[in-house]
């Protein structure tokens, strides 16, 4: 997959001028397949809760939502680029289920634009792992492909550090109260990680239960700090369990 991805990059930059995925205007850059005007129109999230990336009320001065204040998450920080809305939701589906490498590459490039270089090094980059059965059916982990451009910023990819040891029902199919139970104990780490820092990456954040379970597993293994960046967060009227 990595090889295909790199060749596709090179081929595209040599043979084609990059055009905007939405309006077909030239982008003027090889990095992101969107023009500046279309980028401005994307459903960027405003100020969000540092624990679960839910948008905070405009008049709020708190850094965390009421739910995260009440029961603090294991994640030290959680950020999302977009609300899970058009056209981002479509790109995520294309990256995930249709093996659309141009969608994967676009999402990775948008993420790399926003994520700062690590404050301390080494900083482990940990795409949320898929269970091996799902990996076999899908052929690749979309979270890994989206995270890949962050390596150029100084993050160290740690794809084999953590395993998803049992298949879990899709979080989106479950009511909020069952989501935490569904992922409890789902991950294991292959070595102790005393004092290490982690950046988790995933495509969609629905409840935060998966990211938090992973953060909990890493902290039990000794991790000092665990942050997360996701492409998009689902925003519901009732925020469920965060
Ligand atoms: Zn455009
Ligand atoms: Zn929160």
pLDDT of 64-90, one tens digit each? 999 999 999 999 999 999 999 999 999
Return the domain boundaries, the chain: 1-41, 45-233
Q: What is the mean pLDDT of residues 206-223?
A: 94
CA distance 168 to 172: 11
The CATH class for the domain spanning 45-233 reads alpha beta
**Ligand 1 center to 54 CA (angstroms):** 28
Q: Does 171 have pLDDT greater than 70?
A: no
Q: Does 13 have pLDDT greater than 60?
A: no
**Ligand 2 center to 65 CA (angstroms):** 4
What's the pLDDT at 242? 38
Least confident of 145-154, 158-167, 199-208, 210-219: 158-167
**Ligand 2 center to 56 CA (angstroms):** 8
- Residue, of 168 and 64, whose pLDDT is higher: 64
What's the pLDDT at 240? 40
Q: Which ligand is closest in space to the CA of residue 79?
A: 2
**pTM of the complete model:** 0.87
Q: What is the mean pLDDT of residues 173-190?
A: 77
Reported as a single tens digit per residue, the pLDDT across 98-143 is 888 899 999 999 999 999 998 877 799 999 998 888 888 888 899 9
Question: Which helix (DSSP H) or strand (DSSP E) does residue 126 occupy?
Answer: strand 123-127
**Ligand 2 center to 64 CA (angstroms):** 5
What's the pLDDT at 186? 83
Q: Which ligand is closest in space to the CA of residue 240?
A: 2
Helix extents (H) in the chain:
2-15, 36-40, 66-70, 88-97, 101-114, 132-138, 142-147, 176-183, 209-220
What tokens does 75 get?
A: 């994640």
What's the pLDDT at 158? 87
Q: Does 241 have pLDDT greater than 90?
A: no
CB 146 within 8 A of CB 161: no
CA distance 235 to 11: 37
**Ligand 2 center to 79 CA (angstroms):** 10
């Amino acid at each position: 997959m990595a090889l295909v991805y790199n060749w596709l990059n090179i081929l595209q930059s040599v043979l084609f001028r990059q055009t905007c995925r939405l309006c077909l205007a030239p982008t003027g850059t090889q990095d992101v397949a969107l023009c500046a005007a279309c980028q401005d129109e994307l459903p960027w999230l405003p100020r969000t809760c540092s624990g679960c990336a839910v948008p905070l009320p405009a008049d709020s001065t708190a850094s965390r939502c009421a739910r995260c204040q009440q029961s603090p998450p294991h994640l030290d920080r959680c950020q999302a680029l977009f609300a899970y809305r058009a056209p981002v939701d479509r790109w995520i589906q294309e990256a995930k289920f249709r093996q659309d490498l141009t969608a994967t590459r676009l999402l990775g490039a948008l993420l790399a634009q926003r994520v700062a270089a690590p404050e301390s090094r080494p900083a482990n980059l940990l795409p949320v792992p898929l269970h091996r059965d799902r990996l076999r059916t899908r052929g690749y982990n979309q979270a890994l492909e989206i995270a890949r451009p962050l390596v150029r910023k100084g993050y160290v990819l740690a794809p084999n550090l953590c395993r998803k040891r049992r298949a879990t029902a899709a979080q989106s199919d479950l009511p909020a109260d069952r989501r935490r139970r569904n992922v409890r104990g789902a991950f294991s780490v292959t070595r102790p990680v005393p004092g290490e820092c982690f950046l988790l990456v995933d495509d969609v954040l629905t409840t935060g239960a998966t990211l938090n379970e992973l953060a909990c597993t890493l902290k039990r293994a000794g991790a000092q700090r665990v942050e997360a960046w996701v492409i998009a967060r689902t925003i519901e009227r009732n925020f469920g369990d965060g």
